[in-house]
Structure formats: C-alpha cells, structure tokens
Chain A
Amino acid sequence: RKEVEQDPGPFNVPEGATVAFNCTYSNSASQSFFWYRQDCRKEPKLLMSVYSSGNEDGRFTAQLNRASQYISLLIRDSKLSDSATYLCVVNVKSNYQLIWGAGTKLIIKP
C-alpha cells in the first residue's frame, strides 16, 4: 500500500461546478499536510497547507480528518484555469522529507 494515495482521475468538470477530491495517508503519526498544484510540464507549486481545523483560501477549502486518515480539497465555482494536477503531500516523519501522492488530474470544461 502506498503511503499517500490519490484517485488519479481525470476528473472532468464543467466550468462553475464544485469539485472535491480526497487523499488518504497510511501513517497515523503524520504531522503536516499540503496540497500542491502542478500544471502540465511545469513544477509543483504550493496551493495551501491543511490545518487540523480546516482552512479556506478563496474558492478552495481543505479539510483534515485524522480519525479516517484523509485530507480533502474542495474547489467551488471552478474556473478553466483550475485545470491542473493536484498533489497531496504529507510529512510522515519529523525530518526533512515529504511523501507525495501521484496526483489527481482535474480538467475544467467550458
């Protein structure tokens, strides 16, 4: 079992819709959680950190469920520019390393 698992998609969603995807992690001692965004043939960039109480940044909402060991990302009022691959990232140890999911591909259609 992979340490961090994501549905690879693609999720095909009409513009303006709400979309959500989850990421599960296997290590209950995981400490820090992040969502990164990666555009085609580009480098990953931090979208948002995920806090225990959940957090929101504009149209994006991240949630953490420690009991079930998953994090989620909700995108409201999706835009064409939201089309990208979304990477779930977990820090499972107190060291310098992050564990990356393989990503969920999102395609927003006009």
Chain B
Amino acid sequence: DAGITQSPRHKVTETGTPVTLRCHQTENHRYMYWYRQDPGHGLRLIHYSYGVKDTDKGEVSDGYSVSRSKTEDFLLTLESATSSQTSVYFCAISESGAGGPGEQYFGPGTRLTVT
C-alpha cells in the first residue's frame, strides 16, 4: 500500500470553527489532491497540488483553502466550518500530471462532522 496517512481520522467540530486536515505521503509523488465524498455523489475534487506551493481549485473549492509547503504534506483548511461540510475527506496522490492523471492512491479518509 502507498504510504499515505491522514489526520485526524475522525473529528467533530462546531459550526463556525476553523478546521485543518493533514495529508502526509512518503512516496515523493508530485501531485496531491483533496476530495470529499457524500452519498449519491462521486468523489468531488476540492483542491489539488502539482508541486510545492503550487495549488489550484477543483470543482467544490468554496469555503476551503490548502497549503503545500513540503512535498510530503498537503493541508486542507475549512476556514469557518458549516454543516454542509460534514463529509468524508480523502487525500490522494499520483505521479503523472501532464496528459492526465493515471492511477491515484488514496489515504484512509477523515470523517468530519460539523454540528
């Protein structure tokens, strides 16, 4: 299995509080992604990174920000959590980029509940 960890694995927080999720990889892959997964929806891309300090928005980026100061770490921040951000968050990594991503490897996910 690819070396990807996410922390925390579970979190309950209150509306309006900031929350930061961490993704850490030991594979030295260039590309990293944050997705959310909700019932009835496919995985939806929040933000992605194609290198240190290089990030871009995905399909559902409103209310989220990211940072990547090191190859191995990709942080997702919910600036002011809302109940609509209750979800399962997955981090993924991949090697390819130009011409389209190939296989993506996923972390175990973070279950976030906003009350």
Contact = CB atoms under 8 A, between A and B. Distances in A.
Interface of A: 2, 4, 8, 31-32, 34, 42-46, 49, 87, 91, 93-103
B107 A43 contact: yes
A67 B62 CA distance: 36
Kindly state the interface size class of chain B when it binds its partner: 20 to 34
A42 B100 contact: no
Secondary structure class of chain A's binding surface, majority of residues? loop
B42 A43 contact: no
Interface of B: 31, 33, 35, 40-45, 48, 50, 56, 58, 90, 94, 97-104, 106-109
A34 B58 CA distance: 20
A68 B54 CA distance: 37
Contacts of B58: 97
Secondary structure class of chain B's binding surface, majority of residues? loop
Most B C-beta atoms less than 10 A away, residue of A8, A32, A44, A91: A44
B109 to A, nearest CB: 6
Contact of B42 (A4, A32, A45): A4
B42 A96 contact: no
B103 A46 contact: yes
Contacts of B56: 96
B48 A96 contact: yes
